[in-house]
Amino acid sequence: MTEVLSQDEIDQLLTAISSGDIETEEIRQPTDQRKIKIYDFKRPDKFSKEQIRTVSIMHETFARLSTTSLSAQLRSMVQVHVASVDQLTYEEFIRSIPNPTTLAVINMDPLKGSAIMEIDPSITFSIIDRLFGGQGEGAKVTRDLTDIEQSVMEGIIVRILGNMREAWSQVIDLRPRLGQIETNPQFAQIVPPTEMVVLVTLETKVGDVEGMMNFCIPYLTIEPIIGKLSAQYWYSTVRRGATTENLNILRERLSTIEVNIVAEIGRMNLTVRDVLSLVPGDVIRLQNTRTGDPFSLNIGNRPKFLCKPGQIGNKLAVQIVKKLEDVQVQDFEELDDVEGDE
């Protein structure tokens, strides 16, 4: 709100200016001093702080999974954790890494474009030395990888990419694939030099050898899902849990799991003394089972179906005749508890 001066205040102000007590420059000086932020049009910020934070959370999960998988594969103590997540130009990233090094070009299906995974030479040669039966010592001289060493690192990177797919599962069903391995950074031009990228730096320790593992993702590649890289979407997805996308992933993974299916003819309680005295030819009378009754087909330890015995070719088989309801399954469990108490 503008302050209005009275006539006496105006006269005092004019008198002070005439006598030189107040400089006119002091009056003209603006009181509104705004903070100016320098903006570089050559490298604009395309990722917000919230999106950078979400990328960091995703790769903290990736680091934990990689720590476990690499420790098991190398049979050595491996530690991986996120050191920083920054946005910079692709040219700055290329200049910051050594030459030669291990550069893996990653196809980010279903996203368009590729990403770069760079593994420090000290970590690379420590992994190779460990897999070849050594103590896991780093490289004493800088050199390119041989064909055999490159093949070994391909297996390591493919294993690491499986962890990346799981870490990104809350945002997208990522299917990263190893394209090729380069040792000269100048040969890995996946985007223009001025294109902005997000760089995830992972501090890695294999035994006593320390180094860096960098994951470089161009903005053009991650742009289609940039809206999902927010804390609100991330936590709502984690809290929601049972989304259609997650259920499809669970179904796909569960469909390959093997379970035991047992056709149970019947049950009988015997003492240990009776069991030890059993010989071929003895007949055991089953409880609550009559000739012609269907068998219980158990999946795992739970009865799920009723079935009848039969034969297909030269092999024994069972035919499912009825699906057990939840109430009947509960009755089976109660019956087991009663038999256990007896």
Given this model, what pLDDT does residue 331 score?
47
Encode 249-279: b = buried (16+ Cβ within 10 Å), e = exposed: eeeeeeeeeeeeeebeeeeeeeeeeeeeeee
Same domain? For 168 and 291 the reply is: no
Residue 38 neighbours by CB under 8 Å, 6+ apart: none
Comparing 249 with 180, the larger pLDDT belongs to 180
Is the pLDDT at 32 greater than 70? The verdict is no
Spatial distance between the Cα atoms of 251 and 244, rounded to a whole number of angstroms? 10
User: 213, 243, 273 — which closes off a domain?
Assistant: 243
What pLDDT does residue 201 have? 93
Q: What are phi and psi of 46, to 5 degrees?
A: -105, -10
Same-domain pairing of 201 and 117? yes
| pLDDT tens-digit map of 77-108 | 889 999 999 888 898 999 988 888 889 999 99
Q: What angle do CA 73, 75, 80 make, to 5 degrees?
A: 70
pLDDT-based confidence at residue 117 (cuts at 50, 70, 90):
very high
The three-state secondary structure class of 213 is strand
Q: Are residues 228 and 268 in the same domain?
A: no
- Residue 342 clears pLDDT 50, i.e. is over it: no
**In-domain check, residue 14:** no
Angle at 9 between CA 7 and CA 11, to 5 degrees: 70
Calculate the average pLDDT of the chain. Answer: 80
Q: Are residues 65 and 203 in the same domain?
A: yes
**Residue recorded with tokens 């604009």:** 44
42 band by pLDDT with thresholds 50, 70 and 90? low
Split at pLDDT 50, 70, 90, the class of 135 is confident
Report residue 332's pLDDT band, with 50, 70 and 90 as the boundaries. very low
The whole-number pLDDT of residue 337 equals 47
- Output the pLDDT for position 284: 84
Are 295 and 165 members of one domain? no
In a domain, 194, yes or no: yes
What domain range includes position 311? 261-341
Q: Could you tell me if residue 234 is inside a domain?
A: yes
Q: Domain check: are 268 and 196 in the same one?
A: no
Residue 316 confidence class, pLDDT cut points 50, 70, 90 = confident
**Mapping DSSP to helix (H, G, I), strand (E, B) and coil, where does residue 44 land?**
coil
Residue 27 lies in a domain: no
3-state secondary structure of 61: helix
* pLDDT, average across residues 22-41: 58
Instruction: Answer yes or no: do 284 and 207 share one domain.
Output: no
Which CATH number characterizes residue 282's domain?
2.30.330.10
Interval 209-224 mean pLDDT: 89
The pLDDT, as a whole number, for residue 116 is: 92
Does residue 101 fall inside a structural domain? yes
Residues 144, 82 share a domain? yes
Q: Domain boundary at 217, 243, 269, which?
A: 243
Band of pLDDT at residue 1, cut at 50, 70 and 90: very low
Q: Which of the listed residues 188, 215, 243 is the one where a domain comes to its end?
A: 243
pTM of the model: 0.56
Q: What was the pLDDT predicted at 327?
A: 42
Q: What is the mean pLDDT of residues 184-198?
A: 87
Do 207 and 288 lie in a common domain?
no
Residues 70, 150 within the same domain? yes
* Number of domains composing the chain: 2
Q: Side chain identity at 113, as an amino acid letter? A: G
Instruction: Band the pLDDT of 333: cuts 50, 70, 90.
Output: very low
Structure tokens at 241: 């849990």
Same domain, 293 and 217: no
307 in a structural domain: yes
Residue 330's pLDDT band (boundaries 50, 70, 90)?
A: very low
**Alpha carbons within 13 A on the beta-carbon side of 270:** 13
Task: State whether 222 and 334 are in the same domain.
Answer: no
Domain annotation covers residue 31? no
Where residue 109 sits, what CATH number does that domain have?
3.40.1550.10
Q: Is residue 191 part of a domain?
A: yes
CA–CA distance, 144 with 141 (Å, rounded to integer): 10
- pLDDT greater than 90 at residue 202: yes
Tell me which of 232-236, 282-286, 292-296 is least confident.
232-236
Taking CA atoms, 48 is separated from 44, 51, 179, in Å, by 11, 5, 30
Q: What is the pLDDT of residue 234?
A: 55
169 contacts: CB under 8 Å, gap ≥ 6: 246, 249
pLDDT average, residue stretch 40-57: 76
Q: Is the pLDDT of residue 22 over 60?
A: no
